Amino acid sequence: MPMNESTLRSVLGERLQAVEARLTAACQRVGRPRGDVTLVAVTKTIPEAVAALLPELGLLDLGENRPQELWRKAAALPTNVRWHLIGHLQRNKVERTLPLIHLMHSVDSPRLLEALEKEAERRGASLDVLLEVNASREASKGGFAPDDVLQLPEPLARLKFVHVRGLMTMAAPEDDPERCRPTFAELRTLRDQLANNLGAPHDLRHLSMGMSNDFEIAVEEGATLVRLGSVLFEGLS
Ligand X SMILES: *Cc1c(COP(=O)(O)O)cnc(C)c1O
Size of the site for ligand X (CB under 6 A): 14
- The residues, ordered by sequence, that sit 6+ positions from 8 with a Cβ below 8 Å of its Cβ are 50, 53, 236
Q: Work out whether 204 is an interface residue with ligand X (CB under 6 A).
A: no
The Cα 53–Cα 57 span in angstroms is: 7
Give least dist CB 210 to ligand X, A.
8
Q: Work out whether 84 is an interface residue with ligand X (CB under 6 A).
A: no
Q: Work out whether 187 is an interface residue with ligand X (CB under 6 A).
A: no
Choose between 156 and 170: whose C-beta lies nearer to ligand X: 170
The Cα 60–Cα 187 span in angstroms is: 26
Decide if 37 contacts 219 (C-beta within 8 A).
Answer: yes
When CB distances to ligand X are compared, the closest residue is 229
Cis-peptide into 201, omega within 30 deg: yes
The Cα 111–Cα 156 span in angstroms is: 12
Choose between 44 and 191: whose C-beta lies nearer to ligand X: 44
Q: Which of residues 158-177 bind ligand X (CB under 6 A)?
A: 170
Beta strands in 24-157 (DSSP E): 38-42, 61-64, 82-85, 101-107, 127-132
Give least dist CB 64 to ligand X, A.
9
Q: Which of residues 208-237 bind ligand X (CB under 6 A)?
A: 211-213, 227-231
Q: Which of residues 40-69 bind ligand X (CB under 6 A)?
A: 42, 44, 65
* Chain contacts with ligand X (rule: CB under 6 A): 42, 44, 65, 86-87, 170, 211-213, 227-231
